[in-house]
Amino acid sequence: MKLLIVDDEVIIRTGLSTVIKWAELGYELLQPAASAEEALARLELEQPEIVLTDIQMTGRSGLELAGDVRRLLPDSEVIILTGYDQFSYAQQAIREGAGDYLLKTSRPDEIIRAVNGAKMRILQKWEALKKDQLRDRLLERLIADTEIDNHSAEKAAKLLPKLRLNETFFYQTVIVSAEGWGNESGHGYLLLFAVHNMISELIDGEALLRKDSLVILLRHESMRADQSQLARLMERVTRKLKCKLFGATGTVVSDWHKLQDSYTEASYAFLFKGIIGQEGLLAYEDIKGRRGGRTVCSQEEEGQLTALFQNGTDAQLYQWVQELIELQLKDADTTPDSLQKFLQSVQISAHRWVERVIASFGESAALSKEKFANSISPSPNTDNGVGLLYEQLHQLMMLYRETIGQEGIPYIKRAIAYIHDHLDKELTLQQVAKHVHLNPNHFSEVFKRETGHTYIEFVTRMRVERAKRLLDESPIKVSEVASRVGYTDMKYFSQLFKRFTGFTPSEYRTRS
């Protein structure tokens, strides 16, 4: 076990290093440090288990060093050594994590006794840690889909006495999350740690602390366990710790060997956090019958979204996303999977619309597509997907508007976007000119100069391209394809399509 002596007086450092035969006592004496600053610089590299330090030194004090040791090496022990026999120093030393407090006038045997005491506390910490690690591994195995051999079962019965695995009982798994102590780094785990300690004292069972949740294994007298008792327990912890708890329960099983079944159910129910609510208790039985809500956004919703991209504000886009998701959450059949697929459908619809509009701008499309490829980034937002979907859609909206605003005549690009978005409707030149606030004759001249096509040629080409995509990507009837690209006369549509592609719509779909 490594020992570091810290003192700014050379005579003290030398005396403590040489008067006591540390090696014979089983300690590795590190090179003594002449200041708290020097010791701090060496802590992480040398990892001393015991630090023996003076309080008052030039620069940082020994009390400050004790705080540094507690932060950087939480399993190490600090012994404060000082010439000042004042109780206030002892109090502050204990607050900073010191394990003992000695006067410089202490005899060698007193110093040795203090260091040996620190060593015993460290060994006890290590032993407890090993026991806790073994206990946690056994708990993980109980809820995992693995067989436990007889030897492991005997260990589990000894290390998990509250479960009483060698007797006849019924068992249940609960997964709990906690919020309410702020978003600063470490606060979430500290809260969970506090919840774990409190719940462990109150339950008939064991609790496993994970990084972002607790797994609780409850022992019951019968299959018809009273869940209201668990709800009351969670309310008590909530009041005491001033936090919010969400718990998901699996069903009660008749044997501890079936705990993995209860855990699988609790894990599925836990996914509904946010869909059902952010706090309270949710049983697997309450949601197991859900079939899943909508997974594809409607044409009406696509239209609303593209209109927002063209003329909406950031606030209007956020409100639309919020209301869209709230509508899904009200559906009694919505599941986490169906909600995720629905949000992906909205994102993909926006993605394709922007991509198609950009592609219609010709040479500038390649640059914009490259930007689009990097436009969606992950977000830590977890508010049912509202923040993440808004972020993704907002970036696409900005990409669209940036493309519209690039070099060239902006109103021609706005006109092209409008045409693209209304291919299934009547699209007269006068209508589009009015949309961009131009005289139809002037608009016609500028449009041909900028695109290289007359207005009618351009619209026809866009409709044929849309029809080709529909024929490639969907099984809908040719008549429906014609309708979706603005043609009610099937014969005219087929003739027009063949003139541009060399195939009738049916031939195009079945081409090799």
3-state secondary structure 18-39: HCCCCHHHCCEECCCECCHHHH
Distance CA 269, CA 221 (A): 24
pLDDT at 363 > cutoff 50: no
- Cβ-based neighbours of 323, under 8 Å, separated by 6 or more: none
Strand (E) positions, 44-198? 50-54, 77-82, 98-103, 170-179
pLDDT at 230 > cutoff 50: yes
Q: Which 8-state DSSP code applies to residue 273?
A: B
| Long-range CB contacts (within 8 A, 24+) of 448-457 | 450/408, 450/409, 450/412, 451/362, 451/412, 451/416, 455/429, 456/429
More confident residue, 91 or 168: 168
What residue type is 239 in one-letter code? Answer: R
Each residue's pLDDT tens digit, 276-290: 888 899 999 999 999
Distance CA 325, CA 345 (A): 12
Q: From the centroid of its chain, how far is CA 472?
A: 38
Complete domains list, the chain, with CATH: 2-125 (3.40.50.2300), 158-287 (3.30.70.270), 290-407 (no CATH), 410-512 (1.10.10.60)
What confidence tier does 418 reach under pLDDT thresholds 50, 70, 90? confident
Residue 212 to residues 28, 184, 206, 272, Cα–Cα distance (Å): 39, 14, 17, 16
Each residue's pLDDT tens digit, 306-325: 889 887 899 999 999 999 99
For a pLDDT cut of 70, what percent of the chain falls above it? 90
What is residue 161's predicted lDDT score, i.e. its pLDDT? 87
Are 116 and 108 in contact by the 8 Å Cβ rule? The answer is no
Each residue's pLDDT tens digit, 173-186: 999 999 988 766 66
pLDDT at 369 > cutoff 60: no
What is residue 373's predicted lDDT score, i.e. its pLDDT? 44
Each residue's pLDDT tens digit, 422-435: 888 889 999 998 88
Residue 502: how many CA atoms within 13 Å on its side-chain side?
A: 1
> Measuring CA to CA, which residue among 254, 252, 291, 247 is closest to residue 269?
247
Residue 469 to residues 130, 154, 473, Cα–Cα distance (Å): 63, 65, 6
pLDDT at 70 > cutoff 50: yes
Q: CB atoms < 10 A from the CB of 505, how many?
A: 24
Q: CB atoms < 10 A from the CB of 245, how many?
A: 23
Are 435 and 415 in contact by the 8 Å Cβ rule? The answer is yes
pLDDT at 129 > cutoff 80: no
Are 249 and 284 in contact by the 8 Å Cβ rule? The answer is yes
Residue 346 to residues 71, 316, 339, Cα–Cα distance (Å): 47, 16, 11
Q: What's the start-to-end Cα distance of the chain, in Å?
A: 77
The residue assigned the tokens 């940082």 is 60
Q: Are β-strands 77-82 and 50-54 bridged in parallel, bridged antiparallel, or unpaired?
A: parallel
What is residue 206's predicted lDDT score, i.e. its pLDDT? 92
What confidence tier does 388 reach under pLDDT thresholds 50, 70, 90? confident
Name the β-bridge partners of 277: 273
What is residue 376's predicted lDDT score, i.e. its pLDDT? 39
Span 319-346, average pLDDT: 92
- Tell me the two tokens of residue 143: 């809820």
Are 174 and 136 in contact by the 8 Å Cβ rule? The answer is no
- Tell me the two tokens of residue 447: 């449009």
What confidence tier does 446 reach under pLDDT thresholds 50, 70, 90? confident
What is residue 315's predicted lDDT score, i.e. its pLDDT? 92
What is residue 19's predicted lDDT score, i.e. its pLDDT? 92
Span 88-96, average pLDDT: 64
- Tell me the two tokens of residue 357: 């509009």
pLDDT at 226 > cutoff 90: no
- Tell me the two tokens of residue 388: 């993440």
pLDDT at 407 > cutoff 50: no
Q: Which 8-state DSSP code applies to residue 167?
A: S
What confidence tier does 367 reach under pLDDT thresholds 50, 70, 90? very low
Q: Which 8-state DSSP code applies to residue 257?
A: G
- pTM for the structure as a whole: 0.61
pLDDT at 145 > cutoff 60: yes
The residue assigned the tokens 């051999």 is 149
Span 97-125, average pLDDT: 87
Which of 49-53, 95-99, 383-387, 431-435 bottoms out in mean pLDDT, i.e. has the lowest?
A: 95-99
Name the β-bridge partners of 178: 245
For a pLDDT cut of 90, what percent of the chain falls above it? 46
Sign of the dihedral through C-alpha 493, 494, 500, 506: positive
Q: From the centroid of its chain, how far is CA 441?
A: 55
> Measuring CA to CA, which residue among 452, 225, 274 is closest to residue 361?
452
For the chain, the C-alpha Rg in angstroms (whole number) is 35
Q: Are β-strands 170-179 and 244-249 bridged in parallel, bridged antiparallel, or unpaired?
A: antiparallel
Span 93-101, average pLDDT: 70
pLDDT at 370 > cutoff 80: no
More confident residue, 271 or 367: 271
What is residue 358's predicted lDDT score, i.e. its pLDDT? 74
More confident residue, 27 or 372: 27
